[in-house]
Amino acid sequence: LFLGISIENGRVKDEGNFQLKTALRKIIEKFALPMRLTANHNIILYEIDPTHQQALNQILEQHGIQVTPEGIEPLVRYSMACPALPTCGLAVTESERALPGMVERIRLLLDKLGLEKEYFVIRMTGCPNGCARPYIAELGFVGSAPKAYQVWLGASPDQTRLSRPYVQKMPESELESFFEPIFVQFREERKPEESFGDFCDRIGFDALREFSANYELGSGIVNPNGKPAAKKSSTAKNRRRISIPEEVHARLKQAAADQGKTMTQLAAEALEAYLL
């Protein structure tokens, strides 16, 4: 027999009721099992004698280790972070210590939006070296400044397609307001069974940015009766069109892509600053 143990961010430790380090030591001392470390920083114990199965499960349970997949939050199970601060000298921001809290906030947001059963691959690193391979996660966070991350979207759930950078700097404090419109659009426009990464790749970043620019925060929250809250008046109908030369349009498009904004957003900001 074999047994896979999911280890959050690959950290083998004893902390409170979670005594993974002690449990593994006891198992190895008692059963002398070989083990493998997986590319997703989990552990597989193998060559388990079936007569030892019950005793082994008992040790794990007594030390607070969850071994049934159903008992593990899937967003956590498929997430991965590099160590970053304080042990990596190249880190520009937190990763291993920040990801659990951010995954929890993403779970809460998904629940509020009626996406309770949804999960996808999330990975985070503290700098662009990408040691936790965020560039093949459906949602990748790459540290770009203190408490700010590049956001990468669009990889496939089985990591056979790369993601692409969606914004250069998302402040960690703006996680909910940043992702609410994206998740609402995912809920509204996905194909049946389409994963989050496949959806972002299919619909494209321009469509995601356009939706986010016109979205009113809070309007997609699901009511207790399961229906989306009534939409308030859209700001889109209050917009006016203007014409600009082709060359300016091309530069505006490039600048908007570089800054992770829609052209409408960037043009409005530029005009507002100019007209002050």
Min CB(74)–ligand SF4 separation in Å: 24
- Near ligand SF4 by CB under 6 A: residue from 3, 44, 88, 162: 88
Which member of 6, 125, 144, 159 binds ligand SF4 (CB under 6 A)?
125
Using the rule CB under 6 A, is 140 a contact of ligand SF4?
Answer: no
Distance of CA 150 to the CA centre of its chain: 12
Give yes or no for residue 95 binding ligand SF4 (CB under 6 A).
yes
90 makes contact with ligand SF4 (CB under 6 A): yes
Considering only residues 237 to 256 of the shown chain, the ones binding ligand SF4 according to CB under 6 A are none
Q: Is 91 in the site for ligand SF4 (CB under 6 A)?
A: yes
Distance of alpha carbon 179 from alpha carbon 182, whole angstroms: 5
DSSP for 109-148, written as a single string: HHHHTT-TT----EEEESSTT-TT-GGGSSEEEEEEETTE
Least distance to ligand SF4, CB of residue 126, Å = 3
| Minimal distance, residue 11 CB to ligand SF4, in Å | 13
Residue whose CB is less far from ligand SF4, 83 or 114: 83
What is the C-alpha separation between 201 and 207, in angstroms, rounded?
11
* Residue 130 near ligand SF4 by CB under 6 A: yes
How many CB atoms neighbour CB 261 within 10 A? 18
DSSP result, 4-66: EE--GGG---EETTEEHHHHHHHHHHHH---EEE-TTS-EEE-S--GGGHHHHHHHHHHTT--
Residue 34 to residue 28: CA distance in whole angstroms: 8
Minimum gap (Å) between residue 193 Cβ and ligand SF4: 32
Please count the residues of this chain forming the interface with ligand SF4, following the rule CB under 6 A: 13
Instruction: State the residues that interact with ligand SF4 by CB under 6 A.
Output: 82-84, 88, 90-91, 95, 125-127, 129-131
